[in-house]
Amino acid sequence: MEAPLEDKRITLKEAVELVPDGGHLFWGGFGFQRPPMAFAYELVRQKKRNLTIYTCGSEMDIDILSGARVVSRYEMAFYAIEGIGLAPNIQRRVRDGSIEIEDYTNLAMALRFLGGALGVPFMPLKSMLGTDLLAKKKFRTKKAEVMDCPFTGEKVVLVPSVKPDFSIIHAQRADQEGNVQIDGIRGEDIEGARAGKKVIVLAEEIVDTEFIRAQPDQTVIPNIYVTHVVECPWGSYPMMVYNYYDYDIEHIRMYYEQCKTEEGWQKYCSDYITAFNDHNEFLENVGIVRLTRLKARKPLPY
Amino acid sequence: MTKDYAKPDEFTTLELMAVCGSRQIQNGNVVFIGTGLPLIAAMLAKKTHAPAAKIVYEAGFIDSNAKEIACSIADSRLGYRASAAIGLIETLGLMLQGGHVDLGFVGAAQIDEYGNINTTYIGSFDKPTVRLPGSGGGNDIISSAKRIVAIMTHEKRKMVKKLDYLTSPGFLDGPGAREKAGLLGGGPSLVVTNLCQMDFDPEKKRIRLATVHPGVTVEQVLENSGFGLIVPKQVPTTELPTHEQLKLLKTIDPDGIYIPRTE
């Protein structure tokens, strides 16, 4: 007898409602690739506060969360808007002390997620040695430790594993049971998706489970790890999704220029985030013409 | 055969810097690249003397053959004719820390005389004036790649006696310090700026002037450095770009994204 298909689909609004103030989140995507932008915008609309975010490198997505005071702490490695400049909102929030960043390296963060996923309390690595990344810390009681390997005597750095309350991932495709396919690079999402106590996957497309099961080698996150699935087309706009769409560089540049001042950021927030009830209204405002122009020109992935 | 060198008025400083970076890539090297000038340098190397160089981007694109300029190291453009698209544990962990990376390119907001690099804060740690991007994969790359080339602007406030924050390890406080700290990689080997190229004295592990760009004097370099460089008796002029390299640079970055057409 065949088991009935489990249906893990919820709306973006419902997914964001699950995140409590003060919650700890793994934040997926890497640089311009597959950031959960729609989730960030909705966190702002729902006025979430005091979140802690764990990620390797994020950009406009988290700068929005910093501007709107959704996040108060980050444990991460990289925070800027690549190819354009320093992230604008974080400059003011770090200066006034409302945001603290515990700095690690990209490899250290990826290993911290792997450690969380593996159920071991720490991971060793050969980065951070001899630097202020080891010597200086912001808010963690213990950030990283150097130890001599008990087998070889070689120096290694130990970093604490992370098991956040939620992992938030944006992927190309998932079925309703939560089997996930990701095209292109995967950053640290494979480990991050397995580290969270609950895992929310946003997907450009919800596909029939037979599509997944016809090519099981393409599944990078099996449904066993996944708590909820959200159908969320254009969920990384104005950033990019491999094989689906390119970034909207004019929008990103506008954001960067405008948010250099607090007034400019407040205007961006009201014009592009709080002006709309949800992601679909936001997309309608961007408009089909502008979105179509960004669609990937196959066989190119952008 | 003599090379068809351009005259000093036929190229910009950024073009020269890209060519300097490119010359550091040897054919067959596995090279870690970021965006900006290093990306241009790598694309140029592949079109000239190092077609078999394997360009890796830490986000996961491996052996990339990008034909368009990318904004982000995770940019889909870098996936063009790549041999693999994986992730960070693969690139920074298995490949880099595993010892397979010959050369890494990094940027720096500040550098000190031992080649240590700051990309995290300007100002004090407790009350910073500027939040820079942070390490990203920079610390990982400088920790474990066999050879490192840094590309940066040459200013007194960037070439400093003491860093505001030590993000990535050069030779730390001198000879033997990397080994004592337990670092795997070979450390920095060259710093390319808008004024000169600098290498490292093999004994003292301190920055040493190697070549000055055409039209730049040794005095100018010293005036713009916040620490005392080692200056050898003879400082040659930087090898000029060839006409072929300049022609290719214009096709690599036709819109002048990283190399604006006029300076």
pLDDT value at residue B3: 87
Nearest to B137 among A106, A296, A301 (CB): A106
Nearest-5° angle of CA B205, CA B206, CA B210? Answer: 110
A129:B87 CB<8 A? no
- Interface residue A190 vs chain B (CB under 8 A): yes
Token match 């370099």: residue? B221
- A 10 A CB-CB count for B3 gives 12
pLDDT at A119: 98
Name every chain A residue with its beta carbon within 8 A of the beta carbon of B59: 30-31, 33, 185, 187
CB atoms within 10 A of CB A254: 15
Q: Which residue of B has its CA nearest to A115?
A: B89
What's the pLDDT at A127?
98
B116 min Cα distance to partner chain A (Å): 9
Q: What angle do CA A151, A159, A201 make, to 5 degrees?
A: 125
CATH architecture of A12-107+163-276: 3-Layer(aba) Sandwich (3.40)
Q: Which of B43, B26, B27 is nearest to B35 (CA)?
A: B43
Contact B133/A79, CB-based, under 8 Å?
Answer: yes
Nearest alpha carbon to residue B95 among B83, B110, B107, B112 = B83
**Which among A80, A133, A249 has CB closest to B139?**
A133
Sequential pLDDT tens for chain A (302 residues) = 788 899 999 999 999 999 999 999 999 999 999 999 999 999 999 999 999 999 999 999 999 999 999 999 999 999 999 989 999 999 999 999 999 999 999 999 999 999 999 999 999 999 999 999 999 999 999 999 999 999 999 999 999 999 999 999 999 999 999 999 999 999 999 999 999 999 999 999 999 999 999 999 999 999 999 999 999 999 999 999 999 999 999 999 999 999 999 999 999 999 999 999 999 999 999 999 999 999 999 999 99
Chain A nearest-CA residue for B182: A155
Active site residue B58: yes
ipTM score: 0.97
* A79/B contact by beta carbon, under 8 A: yes
Closest CA to A104 of A123, A64, A132: A132
Class at the top of the CATH hierarchy for domain B8-252: alpha beta
Cβ pair B167, B141 in contact under 8 A: no
- Contact yes or no for A81/A60 (Cβ under 8 A): yes
Total-model pTM: 0.97
Please state the φ and ψ torsions of residue A51, each to the nearest 5 degrees.
-75, 155
pLDDT at B262: 65
Residues contacting residue A6 through CB under 8 Å, at least 6 positions apart: A176, A177, A178, A223
Which class for A260: exposed (0-12), middle (13-18), buried (19 or more C-beta within 10 A)?
Answer: middle
Contact (CB, 8 A) for A231 and A9: yes
Q: State whether residue B92 sits within 8 Å of chain A by CB.
A: yes
Nearest residue in chain A measured CA to CA from B62:
A185
Which segments in chain B show pLDDT lower than 50? 263
How far apart are the CA of A291 and the nearest CA of chain B, in angstroms?
A: 17
The amino acid present at B49, given as its one-letter code, is H
Domain definitions of chain B by residue range: 8-252
What is the predicted pLDDT for the residue at B1?
Answer: 57
What distance in Å separates the CA atoms of residue B237 and residue B53, rounded to the nearest whole number? 27
User: How confident is the model at residue A3, as a pLDDT?
Assistant: 85
- From CA A138, how far away is CA A285, in angstroms rounded? 41
B65 touches chain A (CB under 8 A): no
Does A91 sit within 8 Å of B130, measured CB to CB? yes
| Alpha helix positions (H), chain B | 13-23, 37-47, 88, 138-144, 177-181, 218-223, 243-252
Q: Is the bond into A216 cis (omega within 30 degrees of 0)?
A: no
Active site residue: B15, B58, B113, B203, which one? B58
Cα dihedral B236/B242/B243/B246 (nearest 10)? -90
Q: Which helix (H) or strand (E) holds B103?
A: strand B103-107
Beta strands in chain A (DSSP E): 24-27, 51-54, 57-58, 71-76, 78-79, 100-103, 122-125, 145-148, 155-160, 166-174, 180-181, 198-206, 219-221, 228-231
Q: Backbone phi, then psi, for B159, in 5-degree steps?
A: -100, 90
Eight-class DSSP state of B258: S
What residue in B sits closest to A93 (Cα-Cα)?
B131
Q: How many CB atoms sit inside 10 A of residue B247's CB?
A: 12
Spatial CA neighbour of A244 closest among A301, A206, A180, A170:
A301
Take residue A232 and report the two structure tokens written for it.
């969320």
